[in-house]
Every structure is written in structure tokens, then in C-alpha cells.
Amino acid sequence: MPRATGTFEVTRWDATPYDDRDGLALARVEVGKTFHGDVEGTAEAALTTASTPVEGSMAYVAIERMTVSVHGRSGVFLLQHGAAMERGRAEGLWVTVVPDSGSGELAGISGRMWISVNEDGGHDYALEYELP
């Protein structure tokens, strides 16, 4: 399975809180990203975040539209995200290509992505994917 790696930067983070009762804070967040490396292009994501009164405990879900080239093949596809942290420890993160969401030269793409924060506070990614 091919593997695409590189970095991305968050270019926009617009959070709108919509529920903050009982110490549980929910927000809708619009995010913009620029990808570099084997994946080149931009992405727009819509997140729902949930924070608790306990420092570092939170979760999010998201749908992200990727307008990119992957190893030189251009198109658009969607990613579905989910993650949870408990007291600052990652308890789970998954990012999956939405089935049948690819278009252009990325039609039929499937796979999943891993995201990590590097020592400098930047973001690294690895996308394992298949194309027909």
C-alpha cells in the first residue's frame, strides 16, 4: 500500500462555542490547512469539539475536504476524523478516507491517515492509501 508523508500547517481556526453547561463545553470549529510533502494542497474541515472540566480531557469529530495532489495525482476526497484525549494522553485518533468520495485522478481512493505533533509543535501526517 503506498504511503504519503509530509507536514501540514493550520491556516485558520474559527471556533464558535454553542453549549457550555455543567462544565462541558461544545464548539463548532472551521479549520483551514495547507499540506506539504507527498500530499500538496489545501483542506477545509468542520469540527465539533467537546471539552470537560478536567485539564486535557476532550474529544472531537470532523469531516475534512481535501483538495490536493497525492504523489502527483490531483483531485478531491473527504476524510472523517475522531479523537479523544484523557488528561493530555491520546486515547484514540482515527482518520479514514470516506468511501467513494474521491474525484479526478483520486477517484476510488481508500485508506487512512495518521497525524502527530512534532517536536516543534508542527503537524506531521502519513497517508496509507490505495487507488484503482
CATH number for the domain that contains residue 36: 2.40.350.10
Question: Is pLDDT above 90 for 127?
Answer: yes
| Cα 44 to Cα 30: distance, rounded to the nearest angstrom | 7
Q: Specify the pairing of strand 24-37 against strand 3-21.
A: antiparallel
Question: Is pLDDT above 80 for 91?
Answer: no
The 10 Å Cβ neighbour count of residue 18 is: 10
Range(s) of the domain holding residue 65: 3-130
Q: Would you place residue 33 in the very low, low, confident or very high pLDDT band (cuts 50, 70, 90)? A: very high
Q: Would you place residue 88 in the very low, low, confident or very high pLDDT band (cuts 50, 70, 90)? A: confident
Overall domain count for the chain:
1
Surface-to-core class of residue 126, CB atoms within 10 Å of its CB (0-12 exposed, 13-18 middle, 19+ buried): middle
Residue range 75-81: average pLDDT? 98
CA distances from 45 to 53, 97, 105, 115 (A): 25, 13, 21, 15
Instruction: For the chain, give the mean pLDDT.
Output: 96
pTM: 0.92
The 10 Å Cβ neighbour count of residue 111 is: 19
**What is residue 98's DSSP assignment?**
P
Question: Is pLDDT above 90 for 117?
Answer: no
